[in-house]
């Protein structure tokens, strides 16, 4: 039985000044060729399994707790009426263990949505952007699409020749390189139904799975009613899952160079660069909305488990 570790919990005022999770860059390696079947013939063994109280070592301000059914809830303060300029408390959890390669499966019942919120499920390495960042779930407000993005140092990009190997839609920024002045990264947007926010929650969520391998990075989404039986049986076989929503081939990004020692993170930022600028009326109106606790009744992550497999 693999060791079960606790994710470390932080209760933070994730508002206004919270920037995007990190910054990024990119690099080309023409001698590494695309492998659209990077998961074929690979057997995965469960390494770590986070569920219930394993998600955190302590709770703070009542914003992180485990329900009687074992669901882990990570909430935004939805009771405090704030004065102008005050920050609202939210929760961020990160894994104590770090990972470079592996298969990561997150079973999620619900994710935050609503005014000002910017939730994310992501992994990040040391010395950002050198260690890389993988955004598996990200969006703002009441969006219905999911933005999946890589952030790296220089010489990494999305291979625009493999767009037939994933179902999402590439953004117009193929460079994954990120910095304080250019933090877009190389994104792929999933416009499928029920991938994000309220629509995701209507089906009691589902599973997000991603693979990090020397030959590339892939992300899949499965709604609750279509989770593969091999995932439920803890014998995942990605070769049977069909096209991923996102795929970054090693043909234009050396994975070993750009992604290492990643910690798993869930958080909910309020306003920030993206949600603040996307809010009707802009950042000032977003900050005004943060003062009203009624805006955050639905700003909750509800997590079943996160499992990490190694090949």
Q: Active-site residue 133, yes or no?
A: yes
pLDDT in tens, 157-193: 999 888 889 999 999 999 999 998 889 999 999 999 9
Report domain extents, the chain.
8-101+111-310
Q: Which fold has domain 8-101+111-310?
A: Jelly Rolls (2.60.120)
Q: What pLDDT, on a 0 to 100 scale, did the predictor assign at position 110?
A: 99
Give the side-chain half-sphere CA count within 13 A for 120. 27
Q: Which of 57, 86, 138, 310 is catalytic?
A: 138
Which residue among the candidates 39, 57, 86, 133 is catalytic per the annotation? 133
Question: Which residue numbers in the chain have pLDDT < 50?
Answer: 1-5, 13-39, 58
- Do residues 64 and 75 make contact, with C-beta atoms less than 8 angstroms apart? yes
- Rounded CA gap, 175 and 150, in Å? 9
pLDDT tens figures, 97-139: 999 999 999 999 999 999 999 999 999 999 999 999 999 999 9
Per-residue pLDDT, 10: 55
Any catalytic annotation for residue 291? no
Among 161, 164, 116, 129, CA closest to 274: 116
Provide the pLDDT for residue 181. 81
Report pLDDT for 59: 59
Q: Mean pLDDT in the chain?
A: 87
pLDDT of residue 52: 84
Predicted local confidence at residue 68, as pLDDT? 94
Q: How far is CA 148 from CA 6, 169, 195, in A?
A: 26, 10, 11
pLDDT at residue 186, rounded to an integer: 98
């Amino acid at each position: 039985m693999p060791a079960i570790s606790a994710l470390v919990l932080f209760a933070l005022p994730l508002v206004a000044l919270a920037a995007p999770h990190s910054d990024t860059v990119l690099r080309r390696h023409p001698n590494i060729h695309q492998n659209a079947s990077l998961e074929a013939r690979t057997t995965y063994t469960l390494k770590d399994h986070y569920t219930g109280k394993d998600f955190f070592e302590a709770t703070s301000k009542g914003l992180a707790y485990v329900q009687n059914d074992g669901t882990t809830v990570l909430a935004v303060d939805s009771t405090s009426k704030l004065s102008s300029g005050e920050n609202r408390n939210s929760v961020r959890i990160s894994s104590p263990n770090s990972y470079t390669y592996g298969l990561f499966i997150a079973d999620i019942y619900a994710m935050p949505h609503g005014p000002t919120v910017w939730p994310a499920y992501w992994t990040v390495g040391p010395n950002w952007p050198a260690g890389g960042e993988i955004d598996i779930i990200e969006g703002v407000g009441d969006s219905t699409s999911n933005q999946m993005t890589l952030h790296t140092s220089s010489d990494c990009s999305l291979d625009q020749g493999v767009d037939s190997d994933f179902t999402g839609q590439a953004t117009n920024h193929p460079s994954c390189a990120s910095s304080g002045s250019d933090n877009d990264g190389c994104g792929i947007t999933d416009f499928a139904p029920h991938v994000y926010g309220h629509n995701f929650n209507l089906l009691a969520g589902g599973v997000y799975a991603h693979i990090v391998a020397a030959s590339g990075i892939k992300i899949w989404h499965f709604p609750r009613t279509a989770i593969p039986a091999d995932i439920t049986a803890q014998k995942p076989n990605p070769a049977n899952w069909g096209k991923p929503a996102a795929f970054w081939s090693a043909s234009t990004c050396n994975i070993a160079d750009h992604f290492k020692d990643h910690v798993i993170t869930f958080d909910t930022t309020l306003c920030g660069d993206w949600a603040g600028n996307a809010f009707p009326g802009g950042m000032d109106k977003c900050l005004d909305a943060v003062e009203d606790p009624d805006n955050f009744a639905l700003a909750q992550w509800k997590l079943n488990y996160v499992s990490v497999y190694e090949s």
